Amino acid sequence: MKGLMTERPLRIADVLEFAAEVHPAAEIVSVRDEGDVHRETYREAANRVAQLAHGLRRLGIKPGDRVATLAWNGYRHFELYYAISGIGAVCHTINPRVPDDQLTYIVEHAGDSLIFADLSLVPILERLAPTLPAGLRYGVLTDAAHAPQSSLELIVYEELLAAEEPLMDWPELPEDTASGLCYTSGTTGEPKGTLYTHRSTVLHALFVSVSLPKILRTGRRILPVVPLFHVNAWGLPYSAPLTGASLVMPGAKLDGPSLFEVMERESVFSAWGVPTVWLGLLAEIEAKGRLPKGLGSIVVGGSAAPLAMVEAFEKKGVDVCHAWGMTEMSPIGTVGEFSDHHAGLSGADRNLQKAKQGRRVFGVELKIVDDDGQKLPHDGKAVGALYARANTVTSGYFRNEAANEAVFDGDGWFQTGDIASIDPDGFLTIADRLKDLIKSGGEWISSIDLENVAMGHPEVANCAVIAVADAKWGERPLLVVVPGETQPSKTEIFALLAEHFAKWQLPDGIVFAENLPLTATGKVSKRTLRKIYAQHVPTDDDKAALVGAMEARGE
């Protein structure tokens, strides 16, 4: 039997309208390229979003059109999120760090009709314009005084707003209307686009907000290091106004001292970003001998946080919340928040749980399965392919039927591409990316497990484990090490690894490199490493060091 309740579409515009009314003084603070600090309240932002929406309509933007952004974190980027989706168009965020050919591909594949770029990113568009679609229009996120001379005909953002009314009667949109588009950076194959809806976006904000009540609420000030061009900045542009938290956009400088300064000045309570950023902040905290005033929370995701980092923050009284998600998941799937039954956890056990990837948020279902697709137990031991199902998960890539076939099972679960275990308490541990796993003689070897142990050597600054083709075993692991101040000996590294792994799981060789290649989203590009070391064979000193380590173990 159907119930008798009003059905109103969940709409993104309502989030900011609500913030403007209920949390009018909560604000967006932006450190600008120019070096100054800009402030606007949610009330002011809502007015400017209305102006922008009218301006977009004047430019001819219609429901369903894709309007792209090429921008760092800042209030104008935030405003684009709301104005574009508010009129039924699609806000397509583009990572400015993707290679030229990918950017060209993405703009063309998305069918963007207009692209707004930060002042500092206009040169990218000028360079690529000849390869971009002929009908594409260009805008620059600045005012008339700062607008650059350009080979492009540029719409000036503030000029566009200036002529318009600061009020908008937002159109009624079905809640499955497309609202946003984000492409994954494509470590294999071409980039693939996830097309978010108003429903998925509002539900994601609600799901995450009820999971993080100590962070997402009035009076809190949150700093997203995670970019607005990267999976919706983990949803903060929606969850912060929804709950009345303020946003502090840190600008381009993300080194430890710069972050410390802005966090202290702006009384930031919670900062969200990838582990490497927090390592830099930690160093500054150690140097200063104190925390930035008011800091109480770090939310970490993107890749696994080292246990030592978790320990260091927790010891200083900063709560570490490990989150996990994907572009295809809006993105957040899990958060490392504790519940009543964790009250008795001791320091070490507590930190071990905190270093895992967290537990599912309400609304997101997770399962791990074996090679035959059979569900595996959540016992903390079984490791399998991780699947997710939720209103916040993609139902298929944009204009890419071929890619869809591989990633959904018969019940509509999305294959995340991760290999994971889930412990009896619901905490997720990502063992590896499926494509990074090394299959040696029919057995799987986790690259992440090897890397985590190798990172424990004091002179290993960074490292990565990749598969190298092997005639006998199929694949064998190779460890690539970025040395610290002095180069560690291979024997020492093998000995350290031999404490934790069986002989067949150990790398066949170790190579030293000055640095590791990164993807556009700042992750280590194992795809590039695999190409570089495709022909690598173990050297004599590899073999000697391995034998030495084995002998020390008595084998």
Q: Residue 267 Cβ, how far from a second copy at the closest point, in Å? A: 12
Task: Judge whether 138 and 162 are in contact, CB under 8 Å.
Answer: no
Q: Residue 243 Cβ, how far from a second copy at the closest point, in Å? A: 6
Largest distance between two CA atoms of the chain:
80
Q: Is residue 219 within the footprint of a second copy (CB under 8 A)?
A: yes
From candidates 71, 90, 106, 383, binder to a second copy by CB under 8 A = 90
Q: Residue 89 Cβ, how far from a second copy at the closest point, in Å? A: 9
Task: Judge whether 307 and 351 are in contact, CB under 8 Å.
Answer: yes
Binding-site residue total for a second copy (CB under 8 A)?
71
The residue (of 283 and 345) whose beta carbon lies closer to a second copy is 345
The binding track of 337-366 with respect to a second copy, each residue x by CB under 8 A or -, is: xxxxx-x---------------xx-xx---
The residue (of 241 and 302) whose beta carbon lies closer to a second copy is 241
Site for a second copy in 242-301 (CB under 8 A): 242-244, 246
Please give the torsion angle defined by the CA atoms of residues 306, 308, 310 and 312, in that order, rounded to the nearest 10 degrees.
Answer: -150
From candidates 218, 347, 370, 537, binder to a second copy by CB under 8 A = 218
Task: Judge whether 110 and 68 are in contact, CB under 8 Å.
Answer: yes
Region from 308-316, 394-402, 479-487, 505-513 binding a second copy, contact rule CB under 8 A = 394-402
Q: Is residue 406 within the footprint of a second copy (CB under 8 A)?
A: no
Site for a second copy in 315-334 (CB under 8 A): 330
Q: Residue 510 Cβ, how far from a second copy at the closest point, in Å? A: 41
Q: Which one from 126, 158, 444, 523 is the annotated catalytic residue?
A: 444
Q: How many CA atoms does the CB half-sphere of 509 hold within 13 Å?
A: 19
Q: Residue 392 Cβ, how far from a second copy at the closest point, in Å? A: 7
Residues 6+ apart with CB under 8 A from 411: 389
From candidates 91, 390, 463, 510, binder to a second copy by CB under 8 A = 390
CA angle 253, 85, 252 (to 5 degrees): 5
Amino acid letter, 343: A
State how far the alpha carbon of 351 is from the alpha carbons of 318, 342, 355, 393, 408, in Å: 12, 11, 6, 29, 34
| Helix/strand/coil for 352 | helix
Angle, helices 490-498 vs 540-553, to 10°: value is: 40
From candidates 63, 133, 171, 347, binder to a second copy by CB under 8 A = 63
Q: Which residues pair with 464 in a beta bridge?
A: 480
The residue (of 6 and 149) whose beta carbon lies closer to a second copy is 6
Site for a second copy in 130-189 (CB under 8 A): 174, 176-179
State how far the alpha carbon of 525 is from the alpha carbons of 357, 519, 532, in Å: 21, 5, 11
Q: Is 439 a catalytic residue?
A: yes
